Structure 1
């Protein structure tokens, strides 16, 4: 056992002894409830409402707060400590003569540790140094911690610089123990609050336009709607294999067939792929489908919605991401895919055969596999040469038909479809089509995907006969889009990794 583990074990043993002493004193270390009337931010932001002008230590506005003990300055008959609740931290002043000798001497001074939950009832005043503080008139023990929190310490070195020791900063440990990360690294909460605010702004934007939020199956007998490998499971009662959805597109389009003009879903999707800074096998996206619209309308819709999200989160359309300032102000550039590739590489891929494109990829030193079809080859070239350079939000439009089995053929250009991807900060954040509603054409595209599967492309789509049946009943002209919530949240919160915007990202098993 390492010295760290030995030290931690000793601290746990001490806390367990304190737990027993609390019980011996008749104090329930884990009571059932506590009446909280205010939170730290309520008090600190509205202190004039709580503090009497003529007497700083007497106020008819009593408060009841609760939270974790985060710092302690234990003195003789009176002490200061801080508690952290869901909104922030606030200082508490506690005196033996107010809360009682036993409560103060035996419980507070000897048995309360950093991280313990306590409840305080009292009044608000300002200390001589001007800090808004709660004067405790009642002290209640609410929860004993038996494992100590990491406690960063700031020390001034010989050069007068402030140095932090024992910070809970190891990223892998933070992701594994998010519950600790949220307690000791308070800025982390801000990221997740902004993520929720972002999702709510998008939801409000779509609701205000009359689109209906729906739910579709996560367990699917046939997976589809994207090019990806699925997770597979088995239903015992029906004795059938099922898949976790990789997208909810085909079910939402079934609802357009059924007569809804606009439906959307914030969905958890699952793709059996590797982990990276931009990929988690379980991720969130919102998909929206609107009848009688096309991809041109959807570009207008998306840039208006994301501009509004930036304004709601930051009060400006400009967002700082790493070293870049990204401006979501409309309109965003719109560049056809072949044109974007030619600009960066000098190669015009339009009309080229699969073999010609494979040879161009090799000339560009891009690694390609023999089983890659034309669409995959073009996607690799675009991903290596163009996508990383698109920092400002940009629409890449008019994708090769081989890359887009669910999109409608372009109305005026041969060999491409009416599709766009929104690229920002070097990564795709959205994918959208003028949806294919021709059942004959759709069947041919599915069959081509089936051929690619037989040639080794594990991410090629499968034939979904029920979806084909649905659009054979007739689907109106429709625009559809999927927006990656996790990647958009990374940009909106200036987060470096997708794991920074997921409460509990998937992690490799811990080694002993």
Structure 2
């Protein structure tokens, strides 16, 4: 099958116009939301020393060339503006947000684009639960700007104006899969998968040879849990096992889990949030463990952003931060079925 896209035609763009009109209204509502709350809009470079340290993400690499032929340095298009924005937190910007173009290779589907818009914001001196309130207010303001009372996506619907559901990962596994997840977690960065594999098998979910503990978690999530999240009302899924939150700090009352949540509406993941890890030694150790895993799985590793770790050494304030897929929010607000329906022009190819 040919991978050459069809020739550009005006009528293809014309079908996007109603969705793009909604995108403009949601964009205006978003900027008003942050301005009213005294956030500073920032704009950081897409070219970075490190694209991000998530083991399963693929990045785009390029070479920065200086005036001399041998003056060349490998850089990456960022998968998130997170490291740069946290440097600004250290520099003394207490509330900041950015709508950034970010880049992830190997991702293309109805809800993924290799280049997309990520809305990211941080609050210094405030816990991650403050971000849940932000999400509720921002999503509702976006829906109002779009003139939408309910979201409908792929046969599911939800009402963002009703009280949202907050559910821990542990309770989600018990409710939808009958699995006591934390009973299978040994507290390490790479837990023994055998206990979870056994209970997953009994629940009718069949692990594959070589699955890690986290792989089985994702299988259960995909098969039994995510299809229910955000049905009726948006759902905030909280308290992930600490090995699944490399940039998040452990919860003081239960160090097995991290101060992390994800937001779902109509089964679609919209946002990922953290109570930020501020310990530079712990952060370096997590980065090294994640890159060791990436090397084992994919045969590559990304460099550590030493400037970011140096910023942590200077003392990052206790903070919370969140990344939201802006295009996905627009999809829900406009009724679009595909992410390309809400992009002015999709990435070619």
TM-score after normalising by structure 1: 0.61
Asked if structure 2 preserves the Cα contact closer than 8 Å seen for 1:226 and 1:247, the reply is no
CA shift digits 1:335-366 (9 cap, x unpaired): 00121012111111103132222444455335
CA shift digits 1:88-136 (9 cap, x unpaired): xxxxxxxxxxxxxxxxxxxxxxxxxxxxxxxxxxxxxxxxxxxxxxxxx
Asked if structure 1 preserves the Cα contact closer than 8 Å seen for 2:156 and 2:267, the reply is no
Asked if structure 2 preserves the Cα contact closer than 8 Å seen for 1:449 and 1:462, the reply is no
The CA distance in 1 between the partners of 2:251 and 2:9, in whole Å, is: 47
Asked if structure 2 preserves the Cα contact closer than 8 Å seen for 1:225 and 1:248, the reply is no
CA shift digits 1:143-190 (9 cap, x unpaired): xxxxxxxxxxxxxxxxxxxxxxxxxxxxx75xx52533234x4xx311
The CA distance in 2 between the partners of 1:345 and 1:441, in whole Å, is: 33
The CA distance in 1 between the partners of 2:303 and 2:171, in whole Å, is: 31
Match of 1:235 among 58, 64, 74: 64
Aligned pairs for 1:107-118 (under 5 A) are none
The CA distance in 1 between the partners of 2:328 and 2:177, in whole Å, is: 27
The CA distance in 1 between the partners of 2:53 and 2:285, in whole Å, is: 16
Please report how far the alpha carbon of residue 439 of structure 1 lies from its aligned counterpart in structure 2 after TM superposition: 1.6
CA shift digits 1:273-295 (9 cap, x unpaired): 23211111111111001101111
Aligned pairs for 1:139-288 (under 5 A) are 173=6, 177=8, 179-183=10-14, 185=15, 188-224=16-52, 226-227=54-55, 228-237=57-66, 238-288=71-121
Asked if structure 1 preserves the Cα contact closer than 8 Å seen for 2:53 and 2:290, the reply is no
The CA distance in 1 between the partners of 2:297 and 2:262, in whole Å, is: 26
Shift of the 274–366 alpha-carbon distance from structure 1 to 2, 3 Å rule, reads: farther
For structure 1, list consecutive stretches of 5 or more residues without a partner in the other structure: 1-171
Shift of the 478–458 alpha-carbon distance from structure 1 to 2, 3 Å rule, reads: farther
Asked if structure 2 preserves the Cα contact closer than 8 Å seen for 1:225 and 1:247, the reply is no
The CA distance in 1 between the partners of 2:201 and 2:342, in whole Å, is: 36
Q: Secondary structure at the match of 1:246?
A: coil
Higher relative contact order (CA 8 A, sep 6+): 2
Aligned pairs for 1:124-143 (under 5 A) are none
Asked if structure 2 preserves the Cα contact closer than 8 Å seen for 1:178 and 1:503, the reply is no
CA shift digits 1:59-101 (9 cap, x unpaired): xxxxxxxxxxxxxxxxxxxxxxxxxxxxxxxxxxxxxxxxxxx
Match of 1:78 in 2: none
Aligned pairs for 1:36-435 (under 5 A) are 173=6, 177=8, 179-183=10-14, 185=15, 188-224=16-52, 226-227=54-55, 228-237=57-66, 238-314=71-147, 317-321=149-153, 323-352=155-184, 353-363=192-202, 364-366=204-206, 368=208, 370=210, 372-390=211-229, 391=231, 392-435=233-276
Match of 1:446 in 2: 287
Asked if structure 1 preserves the Cα contact closer than 8 Å seen for 2:146 and 2:334, the reply is no
Shift of the 181–454 alpha-carbon distance from structure 1 to 2, 3 Å rule, reads: closer
CA shift digits 1:181-237 (9 cap, x unpaired): 234x4xx31110101211221111011111011111111122216441101111232
**Size of the alignment, in residue pairs?**
330
TM-score after normalising by structure 2: 0.87
Q: Secondary structure at the match of 1:182?
A: helix
Aligned pairs for 1:454-469 (under 5 A) are 454-456=295-297, 463-469=304-310
For structure 2, list consecutive stretches of 5 or more residues without a partner in the other structure: 185-191
Shift of the 369–330 alpha-carbon distance from structure 1 to 2, 3 Å rule, reads: farther
Asked if structure 2 preserves the Cα contact closer than 8 Å seen for 1:358 and 1:368, the reply is no
